[in-house]
Amino acid sequence: MNNIGEFMNKRNLYAIVAVIVVIVIIIAAAAVLLYKPSKTTTPTPTAPTLVSVTPSTQLTTVGSSVQFVANVKGNVTSVLWNFGDGTTGSGLIVNHTYNEPGKYLVFANATGPNGYSNNLNNLWLITVSPQTLSPALASEVAQPTVAFNKTVNPNAPIFSLNTNAIFEVSYLQPPTASNWTIGYYVINYGDGTPVNVTPALYNTSSGTYLSAIFNHIYTKSGFYAVNITIVTYNDTPFVKNIVINNVTSIQYLPVNYYNKVLSSNYRVQSEFLTVYVAAPSQTAGIFKPTSTVTTSGVINVAEVVPSGPYSFDPDIDYETVGAEIIANVYETMIAYNGSSTSQFVPTIAKEVPTISNGGISPNGLNYTFYLRSGLKFANGDPVTAWDAYVSYVRALIFELGSPGTPGWILGQDLLPYGGYYFNSSGALVATNTYQNITKAITYSNATQSVTFHLIKPDPAFLDYIANTLIGSIVDWNWLVEHGAGISFTPSGFQAYSSQGNEQNYNNYVRYNAMGSGPYMIETYLSGQSIVLAPNPNYVPIPGYPGYNATPKYKVYIQWVKDPETALLMMESGLSQITTGLPTSDYPTVAKLQSEGKQSIYTFPTLSVFFFNFNWNINETMMHGAYGSQYSIPYNYFTNPYVRAAFADAFNYTNYINNLVGNVIYHADFAFHYVGIIPKGMPGYVNATWLQEHGATIPQYNLTLAKHLMEESGVYNESVSFPIVIYAGDPVDFAAAGMWAANLSAIDPNIHATPVYQPFASSIGYMAANMDPMPIYLLGWAPDYPYPSDYVNAMYLQGGTYSLSNGWNYTNLINAGWTQEAQEWQNMTNLIFKADSTVNVTQSLMYFDEAEVIAVNLNLYVYTEQQNAFWYYAPNLLGVQYEENPMINGGGDTLYYYLTLGPSS
């Protein structure tokens, strides 16, 4: 319905909504249709038997047809259907199209001369996802969610007659368009009772809208189509009407403005839900309140990631949310074999190249990959050497894109100076030119092969090729079709490189995908949800679990705004995989595990988290993003004494024991670390080693922190700034509050305020000279198992974090910190030595020496290295293949490894 409204004026849109209201009333009247046997006699042995109901799919999209087959034994005169949306049908085989997103119970009743049979003991749940919306329209809507209180309604969505049915209504993501907000939650119970409208309450302190609790009592048995709608609107005309309570930090638009909103600039997004109501005492016939719901065709996922992924383009995306989708829909030449970090599966390649099979030259400088024949992209296009060649070329062209891209990983072995260097005046000089790129990679149509020509031997090169974010092979014809083709000339490469910058992205390629992997994108609701469907053109690889068959299940991922919503979805059985829950929810999940309702998988990861200091704050953008109340010099954190003081004002022990919760929840969620090379990675050294080799380890000491501020030259100077936490992370929000209080204690003129921000926004702001975040929390998951993955991206001038944070020699010199500038240069030289040294032992030594200098420079406040805690439904099988820190350090799931066993 919103797709139509996108092209209509306000008057026409209002007319459409009026029609919608009429339709909903009609549906509500039809929804109470109740199937009864044609005779009131007890079924006899000769009555028909409805063995099962088989749908063509259990996850579909609005507007798509679903076929239902009634598998019946015996003499049948009719089969009647209730599709759960208030409509009915008849016949052994029926087709039905759902016109609204939702979760629908499907009921069939077979009648014969001597009785009837139905599927009330095995109702099917059909999930209908929203249609893909344009990014502009998607930014103005909010997709509803609904969960149940399983303590009060243990069998929901099956309810007992004349008892309280509780619906907890929330949303996946708020509207992101300027001045758009959530106005009202609307629920139509489907039984003819009045529609309930309630204002959405916005909590200004947390930056989220509260969920709404609706209570309802059904007085008649039957199936009901419940319609939950969220009304969003442009609040500009209503600013003066918004009620603000400064005591509770709650604001809302009163319900008496509802009709005015519906005559203004607004959107509606609905979610339907079938409920079945029966008297508890009725056990004969169709009234069976203990009925079960069959959901075996879909893997439902709830991820606490407000705003969802940054992109699905493997050459610009550099974060874990989008990477999960990319890893499932694209293929690389080779991939990690299950949980192994050293054994590979030849996926697009015929075989893993080695020196013995001729794929790697004896000097280690040439790697040749021959493609398997018969591979196809999801659209049917053949996978060719040209597609692979272009995909790698594109990654190198975008190496210097902003925000940072993963192309540097390939560039470090293939291009002079790794793709760029800084000249004597501090200017960046790019070497990812047409001449250098086309010399570094060649291809052959005749042999269907791609060859990489390395500048230096690198034992980790196969890991680079296995990396989803630089190794994914994209369909060239698809790129050309959508305006993303490359002109293979020097000027063409230079012009194309601009598409690696956010302001020039090809947004179709950014939010769509065309790969040859096990899955394909069926629908995507920007920032809110996605449906992955098995790729019918996927060519399995015999002998390798996960790769040896086309997936059987669709995957429905919903990116939810907060942990509370995700936990309710888990408890209600609406998600089989739940990620992003804070550690405070662990006791609840552990209880569910003790009841056989959840499984908890734990293992170490290489994922680290940290607070960044921005040396080059874009003050104008800071005021626009977070408010004009903040005031801080753009280069405040260039001061090494300030960084050291801030690092010593963070209470690391309290953070791990109480905020993360290792002690209070009796679980090993994480541990404190110092230095960016994580434990488990070659080259890792602990705090004791670092200290013995000259590092001053940050430690919680407010006395020392105050002394450092007094030495900084800016003590008692008033500053106010946000500490930015990505939304949905209450643990680090609390940590930022603790830190802010400590900073005020050492200098009352430091005013720091924790603020939430969507994850994708944090990634988007990480651009050179454009970063408005003074201090912000992010992390790093491994690209490949060698220290350069962390050290180069985190410490090297021009690296992913260094570039956006303004960390470079020139800024230190300009701020008058000559000694620190020399230390920065020494660290840079050690990293270059480590990267260019073939001897691994010597290389690791250089990395560790660079680590000492970095710790002394206090570039980061190192918070935690995480252990994985995965929450899966007990009937999900194949999880053991997922425990790969190269893939899952960021919590990503390779769904093609998973199968669904019988529900408990």
Span 488-515, mean pLDDT? 96
626 neighbors 618 (Cβ within 8 angstroms): no
Q: What is the pLDDT of residue 697?
A: 97
Does residue 7 carry a pLDDT above 80? no
Q: What is the pLDDT of residue 569?
A: 87
Q: What is the pLDDT of residue 883?
A: 63
| DSSP per-residue string spanning 799-837 | SHHHHHHT-SHHHHHHTT-HHHHHHHHHHHHHHHHHHH-
Phi, psi of 618 (to 5 degrees): -85, 100
Q: What is the pLDDT of residue 46?
A: 60
Q: By mean pLDDT, which of 4-13, 238-247, 267-276, 420-429 is the weakest?
A: 4-13
Does residue 1 carry a pLDDT above 70? no
- d(CA 116, CA 47) in angstroms, rounded, equals 6
The predicted model scores a pTM of: 0.80
- d(CA 272, CA 99) in angstroms, rounded, equals 10
Report the chain's mean pLDDT, rounded to a whole number.
Answer: 88
- For the record, the structure tokens of 455 come out as 């500048």
pLDDT tens figures, 573-629? 889 999 999 999 999 999 999 999 999 988 889 999 999 999 999 999 999 999 999
User: Tokens 């209470």, residue?
Assistant: 651
pLDDT tens figures, 378-403? 999 999 999 999 999 999 999 999 99
Polymer length in residues for the chain: 904
Residues near 780 by beta carbon (within 8 Å), at least 6 away in sequence: 607, 608, 676, 790, 793, 794
SS3 label, residue 82: strand
Span 665-673, mean pLDDT? 96
SS3 label, residue 621: helix
Q: What is the pLDDT of residue 224?
A: 95
72 neighbors 49 (Cβ within 8 angstroms): yes
Span 700-722, mean pLDDT? 97
Alpha carbon separation from 503 to 140, 172, 402, 613, 770 (Å, rounded): 21, 26, 9, 25, 12
437 neighbors 443 (Cβ within 8 angstroms): no
Instruction: List the beta bridge partners of residue 429.
Output: 421
Q: By mean pLDDT, which of 29-43, 138-152, 851-865 is the weakest?
A: 29-43
User: Tokens 């809302």, residue?
Assistant: 252
Q: What is the pLDDT of residue 29?
A: 33
Please provide the distance, in angstroms rounded to a whole number, between the alpha carbons at the two ends of the chain. 38
Q: What is the pLDDT of residue 887?
A: 62
pLDDT tens figures, 63-119? 999 999 998 888 888 999 999 999 999 999 999 999 999 999 999 999 988 888 888
User: Tokens 């005591």, residue?
Assistant: 247
Span 147-176, mean pLDDT? 87
Q: By mean pLDDT, which of 124-133, 504-513, 538-547, 718-727 is the weakest?
A: 124-133
Amino acid at 634: Y
- For the record, the structure tokens of 209 come out as 């809208």
Residues near 557 by beta carbon (within 8 Å), at least 6 away in sequence: 301, 303, 325, 529, 530, 531, 532
Span 113-138, mean pLDDT? 85
Neighbours of 901 (CB within 10 A): 12
Give the whole-number percent of the chain exceeding pLDDT 70.
Answer: 91
* CB-based burial label for 904 (10 Å; 0-12, 13-18, 19+): exposed
Residues near 430 by beta carbon (within 8 Å), at least 6 away in sequence: 400, 419, 420
625 neighbors 840 (Cβ within 8 angstroms): no
Neighbours of 26 (CB within 10 A): 12
**What band does 205 get if pLDDT is binned at 50, 70 and 90?**
confident
Does residue 324 carry a pLDDT above 60? yes
406 neighbors 469 (Cβ within 8 angstroms): yes
Nearest by Cα to 464 from 95, 785, 102: 785
Q: What is the pLDDT of residue 33?
A: 35
Residues near 192 by beta carbon (within 8 Å), at least 6 away in sequence: 28, 29, 32
Instruction: List the beta bridge partners of residue 26.
Output: none
Phi, psi of 16 (to 5 degrees): -65, -40
Alpha carbon separation from 754 to 34, 759, 773 (Å, rounded): 54, 15, 11
Q: What is the pLDDT of residue 890?
A: 52
Q: What is the pLDDT of residue 60?
A: 87
Nearest by Cα to 321 from 469, 464, 534, 520: 469
Does residue 538 carry a pLDDT above 60? yes
130 neighbors 159 (Cβ within 8 angstroms): no
403 neighbors 502 (Cβ within 8 angstroms): yes
**What band does 501 get if pLDDT is binned at 50, 70 and 90?**
very high
474 neighbors 391 (Cβ within 8 angstroms): yes
Q: What is the pLDDT of residue 886?
A: 62
SS3 label, residue 590: helix
Does residue 40 carry a pLDDT above 60? no
Does residue 20 carry a pLDDT above 70? no
Phi, psi of 496 (to 5 degrees): -65, -30
Instruction: List the beta bridge partners of residue 53.
Output: 70
- d(CA 580, CA 570) in angstroms, rounded, equals 12
SS3 label, residue 366: strand
Does residue 411 carry a pLDDT above 50? yes
Does residue 558 carry a pLDDT above 50? yes
Q: What is the pLDDT of residue 13?
A: 28
Q: Nearest-5° angle of CA 496, CA 497, CA 503?
A: 100
User: Tokens 């056989």, residue?
Assistant: 596
User: Tokens 């629920």, residue?
Assistant: 187
**What band does 891 get if pLDDT is binned at 50, 70 and 90?**
low
**What band does 183 get if pLDDT is binned at 50, 70 and 90?**
very high
Q: Nearest-5° angle of CA 373, CA 378, CA 379?
A: 100
User: Tokens 């309810």, residue?
Assistant: 159
| DSSP per-residue string spanning 176-216 | -STTEEEEEEEEE-SSSSPPEEEEPPEETTTTEEPPEEEEE
Phi, psi of 600 (to 5 degrees): -115, 120
Radius of gyration of the chain (CA): 29
Q: Where are the beta strands (DSSP E) in 239-362?
A: 243-245, 250-252, 266-278, 293-294, 298-304, 334-336, 344-346
Q: Nearest-5° angle of CA 187, CA 221, CA 130?
A: 35
Q: What is the pLDDT of residue 296?
A: 61
| DSSP per-residue string spanning 703-762 | HHHHHHHHHHT-TT--EEEEEEEETT-HHHHHHHHHHHHHHHHH-TTEEEEEEEE-HHHH
- For the record, the structure tokens of 337 come out as 């074999």
Q: What is the pLDDT of residue 807?
A: 95
pLDDT tens figures, 438-485? 999 999 999 999 999 999 899 889 999 999 988 999 999 999 999 999
- Specify which of 25-29, 254-258, 284-288 reaches the highest per-range mean pLDDT: 254-258
